[in-house]
Amino acid sequence: MANVAIIGAQWGDEGKGKVVDWLASRADIVVRFQGGHNAGHTLVVGNQTYKLSLLPSGVVRGKLGIIGNGVVLDPEALLSEISRVRGQGLDVGPHNLRIAENVPLILPLHPAIDKAREEARGEAKIGTTGRGIGPAYEDKVARRAIRLCDLAEPETLSAKLDELLLHHNTLLKGLGAATFEKQALLDGLVALAPKLLPYAEAVWERLDGARHANKRVLFEGAQAVMLDVDHGTYPFVTSSNTVAGNAAAGSGIGPHGIGTVLGIAKAYTTRVGSGPFPTELFDDVGKRLGERGREFGTVTGRPRRCGWFDACLVRQAVKVGGVQGLALTKLDVLDGLTELKICTGYDIDGEVVKRLPAALGAQAKAKPIYEVLEGWSQSTMGARSWAELPATAIKYVKRIEELVEAPVTLLSTSPERDDTILVSDPFAG
């Protein structure tokens, strides 16, 4: 079985939605294996734009979508998203969307504690979306989460909510925020049960069956390696493991089932929220990248910080994430720039290093060391073959390959799904 796992190789927002959508035409099943509705994928299909947060991107292709147990699921957000895409003409229901029965749920108290803690941090904010993702993962690890399967046992929900509220109401009260009443939460969960339970199943069994039937599975990651809770720029990270290895634990398959790992990276770098960003630009070039790349968060609407391509960062993500091939997106955004820069190392207190350190203080001191390359005046927008690219653009891509130590197997030249140069098919193994 030739499966593929797609992960971000920077700080997220690399254009995974388009790549997943494009590859979904070759897949039978698309699986979300981590994150929550804090991550967004934008898919442009003709004159229709789909903005997905929880739904696997494969639903746009009519494929079976699975939300794995590694996701934290906000029921109201999911139902709202299903309703929205149905309004755009997509057919989504239990026949083509399955949810792991053991997926943890995000309850109204989770965003409340998320926002209260961010407010208490003042200028030291992490930059969370305030959607309760982190607190929901905390509850999962602390063994007090309400899971989808619990909705089938209303008699046990009361006791579970007692433990949950003992923890969260104490924190909310200490932060000066409003607390929650158990009955209101219980009534809400009971009302959600008939809407959500038809989607629930032991998805590990379905994936095992897919393996035996030689079905192709596409594992869709959210965020990116540098936002991984272990391997990213901690504490300015998400609350889950975003590396491809988590596709196994987050969906219920063995490590052998992950298949080829494809990393997604922009031809430059962006980041949303707080945290270190060595190659960030505060000049007209940075502004131009943001405007031409339409750099606003799919979920938050926040403007993304923009900077030059950081080869050290992506090389680190390639090694940690197990990336075997790179999909380079938004090459066309660089059109018209006479000079391009790639970060090849950092100067930290006079010492040259080739990786971003784990310590926050050292990350803040990292000054980029740049290699300057010639830009191009011709347009790369919509190119579908190497022959349509300027020689200097090809040189830029080839230099990235050398520096990150991974081949560019796919090149995206516009938001349109077919404006893609395929070097090698990841499903070929």
Please identify which of the residues 13, 21, 74, 310 carries the catalytic annotation. Answer: 13
Rounded Cα distance between 395 and 372, Å, is 12
Please identify which of the residues 21, 37, 41, 168 carries the catalytic annotation. Answer: 41
C-alpha dihedral (362, 364, 366, 367), degrees to nearest 10 = -160
Strand partners, 130: none
Rounded Cα distance between 139 and 141, Å, is 5
Rounded Cα distance between 212 and 194, Å, is 32
The residue type found at 347 is D
Residue 106 dihedral angles phi and psi, to the nearest 5°: -95, 120
C-alpha dihedral (39, 30, 406, 278), degrees to nearest 10 = 0
Nearest to 55 by CA among 63, 66, 69: 66
- Active-site annotation holds for 37: no
- Active-site annotation holds for 231: no
Q: What is the sign, positive or negative, of the torsion defined by CA atoms of 279, 280, 283, 289?
A: positive
Q: What is the DSSP string of 368-412?
A: EEEEEEE---S--TT--SGGGS-HHHHHHHHHHHHHHTS-EEEEE
Tokens describing residue 303:
């403007």
Q: CB–CB of 27/4 below 8 Å? A: yes
The residues carrying an active-site annotation are 13, 41
